[in-house]
Structure formats: structure tokens, C-alpha cells
Amino acid sequence: MNELIDVTLSRNQKQVVSARELYKGLGIKTRFSLWIKQYLEMFAEGYDFEGVVVTTPYNPNKPDGKQQTIQDYAISVSMAKHIAMMTGTVKGFEYRDYFIALEEKWNDPQEVVKRGYAILQNENTQLKLENSKLVVENQIMQPKAQYFDDLVDRNLLTNFRDTAKMLKMKQKEFINFLLDKKYIYRDKKGKLMPYQQYNNELFQIKESKGLKWEGVQTLVTPKGRETFNILLNS
């Protein structure tokens, strides 16, 4: 079956065609807006057709070659078939037969089963993606050990040394892990600082004062400990 017109699927999985393409294919001489108006009054908006705005391609023959937006309509194959039949021309009946053949193929039981299977596959894929996302979010948000629950409840911040102990690692190994994975870096003075996207989420920078010095210190948040515990154990 030779393709007379582009057929696409609407949001509600209905076969639709462009009213403007059908208008051109039928060779209608009346202005499009007047021609389509009579049919819009005969059919139901939202069921048989929907208004769409399309952008014309660049045209060097137009002033400045600018693109234009024009009104079009996505009409169902059933509506297009009736319009073609009502045209009463040889071309009209050619389009009518074409749309009848499309409807017969669309309603063929095997085609219906194929579409249903494809929809189920797509929904299953989407469900798997959403479930995977939820699993990851739950792993980040929920601690894997009881002491993490206590830390979250008390909202404690810990330094690199204490965090490494909680994770049962040597401090140097833990710091090298964070440096390697680009969570932290050393500034010009050699201080360990978090990258901006992790500050206030996985780390917090606090002012610290000692007997002989004062400055800032990078501390790990409860969420940071949860995250690193999951990453290191996975």
C-alpha cells in the first residue's frame, strides 16, 4: 500500500493525520481556514480532532526568510476518511480507500495484540526504571546499620578520622577514596575541602579553634556517612 499521507499516533494512541496535508493532497482550491471550518463544526474536538500549531520551514522567498507559525489540526483517520468521501472527487475516493485500508490493518486482531504487547513492554520498562530510582533513593536515605540511625537522630558531624573508624577503614584510605572519587580536594594550603556540589549535603565546613591555631575544618554529615557506607560496601 503506497503511502499517501503521513500517519502518526496521538497522545491517546489514535492514528491521526495533518488536516493541512490532507487539504493539499485532495487539491482543494478553497482557502484552508474556510475549508476546514465546515468540518470542525461537524466533528467533536478532543475526540475527532485537536488543534496544533506548526512552524513553517525557513523560506528564502519570504521577507527575511523568517519562519512562521500556522494553525493546523491533528484529525483522526476516521474523520479524514469522511472528509475525503465528502469531497466527491477521484482524489477524494483514492484517499477514502487508503484510510479504509489503514483502519482495517489497525483493527486487525494480530495488530491489536502487537500494540498491546508493545504498550505493556514500555510500561514494564518505565516501572523498572522508577523502581530502580526508588531503590537508590532509599539506600541513600536509609542507613544500613543501627549506629547510623543514632547519628542521624542526633544530627552529629564527624571529622575524617572518626568517620573512617565508623566505616572500619584507616583514615588515609578513606581520604584517598574521597580524593579519588572527586568528593574532596586539597586547596593551596593543603586543606581538605569538599567540592561545591557536595558541600552542605555530604560535608559541612565549620570554623575550628584550638590553643595555638584557628581555621576551618571539613566535617562529614550523617547523610555523607550513609552515602559512603553504601558506596564502600557495594
Instruction: Decide which of 86, 107, 128 is a domain's last residue.
Output: 107
The answer as to whether 2 is a domain residue is no
Which of 160-188 are b and which e, b meaning 16 or more Cβ less than 10 Å from the residue's Cβ?
beebbebbebeeeebbebbeeeebbeeee
Same domain, 84 and 57: yes
Q: What's the domain count of the chain?
A: 3
**123 and 39 in a common domain:** no
Own/partner contacts of 204-211, CB < 8 Å, gap of 24 or more, are 204/157, 206/157
The pTM of the whole model exceeds 0.85: no
Angle separating helix axes 90-107 and 109-141, nearest 10 degrees: 60
Question: Do both 94 and 12 map to the same domain?
Answer: yes
Distance CA 222, CA 201 (A): 9
Give, in degrees to the nearest 5, the angle at Cα 78 between 76 and 80.
70
103 and 19 housed in the same domain: yes
Q: What are the φ and ψ backbone dihedral angles of 218, each rounded to 5 degrees?
A: -90, 125
Same-domain check for residues 101 and 124: no
Give a yes or no: residue 1 inside a domain: no
- The helix (run of H) or strand (run of E) holding residue 205 is strand 203-209
Domain annotation covers residue 3: no
Per-residue pLDDT 10s for the chain (234 aa) are 678 899 998 887 889 999 999 999 999 999 999 999 999 999 999 999 999 998 877 666 665 656 778 899 999 999 999 999 999 899 999 999 999 999 888 887 877 677 666 666 766 666 766 766 676 666 665 555 555 554 444 457 889 999 999 999 999 999 999 999 999 999 888 899 999 999 888 999 887 665 555 678 899 999 999 899 988 887
Q: How far apart are CA 139 and CA 153, in angstroms?
A: 17
Can you give the residue range of the structural domain that contains 60?
Answer: 8-107
Q: What is the DSSP string of 16-78?
A: EEEHHHHHHHTT--S-HHHHHHHHHTTS-BTTTEEEEEEEPPP-TTSGGG---EEEEEEEEHH
